[in-house]
Amino acid sequence: MVRWSRVCFYSVGGSTETEWFGRERHGLTRVNTVRADNKIKVVHVVGARPNFVKIANIVRACNAADRIESVLVHTGQHYSANMSASFFDELDIPHPDINLEVGSGSHAQQTGEIIKRFESVLLEHEPTLVLVVGDVNSTAAAALVAVKLGIKVAHVEAGLRSFDRTMPEEINRLVTDAISDFLFITEPSAQVNLEHEGVDASKIHYVGNVMIDTLERHREKALRSSILDDLGLNNGPYGVLTLHRPSNVDHHETFSGILDALETIQRDMTIVLPAHPRTVKNIEGIGLMDRIRQMGKLRLVDPLGYLDFLKLMAEARLVLTDSGGIQEETTILGVPCLTIRENTERPITITEGTNQLVGCEPSRILEGYRRALAEPAQQRRPKFWDGQAAQRIVDVLLEVF
């Protein structure tokens, strides 16, 4: 039997209409409320590697709070073992209660599928809050579904801005922040950005960086990894390279210029590139794989699990990347980082961390490389990057609800 429940009112064409939802077995009679048993039901959403690292300690802190009930939803945006399943095992995250199994596709296809499949989850579970992290398609899609059902949304890692709207991640950040009720930020620039966009300051909570929570919790275990022996990296300095942004790996001219710089750097040290299958496919597609193979000390390896990659970064002489999260991790590890982009949404990694923004031009990359080798890396730790960010998030939720 289908029961129908009136949920909310909205205005259409100057008249008041009533919106109705139908569900089998249960009526959706209240949204945005704490249950009769005083429990706060939180649906956590993850979809890609950075999300898993960020959500780990949040779920753990929620599960330790008597008043919070957690449901973990994996959209399936990343679905290979190294990019998904292994992270749940390594980071001690409970395996997802629900997997939407969306898989790959264009941005529109992926976002649309998540929206379609996630709605039924919310109608079934009737949460108090949907909590999303980061800036991937899963983040924006889940937030959109929740807010249209009248369910409050919390965005962890809110307010970060590259001011480059050609980046899909930037659009996801803007959309998610605009519709969220709780904006948990990692650094002061995020508050400035949000207030400039007209966000009510009462929604903004400076809690720190949950990625660093996970790093600190697993750092000692990661240092016991055998990855350096496995890759034969114990005999001299080496660098780590990660590239995945379409602006870098989808264009022959841009990537060829990056390789010009890497060709010089790899003469001094081995460079290890853990490459996602998409990156390998694109390198082959733009005709540069043969050039990489001719560089004797630039080594492509399969994607690594979290602990192995953390060990690889921690012992590196240098990291080159276009990833936002790696800028943050190298800041805490004290490892020099060269960001191969023209912008960063994480300026604190430059002002207080070990990061240099070097762009894609070979001369600038090499200038940053020489500076990184000549100057000691900074060791300052940004405020609240102390392993307690997830607990601060839980404290806010318990207080508000």
Active site residues per annotation: 244
Amino acid at 43: V
* 51 neighbors 136 (Cβ within 8 angstroms): yes
Q: Which residues pair with 243 in a beta bridge?
A: none
Output phi, psi for 127, to 5 deg.
Answer: -75, 160
Whole-angstrom distance, CA of residue 85 vs CA of residue 78: 9
C-alpha to C-alpha distances, 337 to 221, 278, 316, 396, nearest whole angstrom: 23, 23, 10, 33
Q: Which two tokens stand for residue 293?
A: 């193979």
Cα torsion 287, 325, 72, 176: sign: negative
How many helices and strands, by DSSP H and E, does the chain display? 17, 15
Q: How many CA atoms lie within 13 A of 313 on its CB side?
A: 31
Tell which residue, 180, 112, 154, 148, has the closest CA to residue 21: 148
Are the beta carbons of 42 and 75 closer than 8 angstroms?
A: no
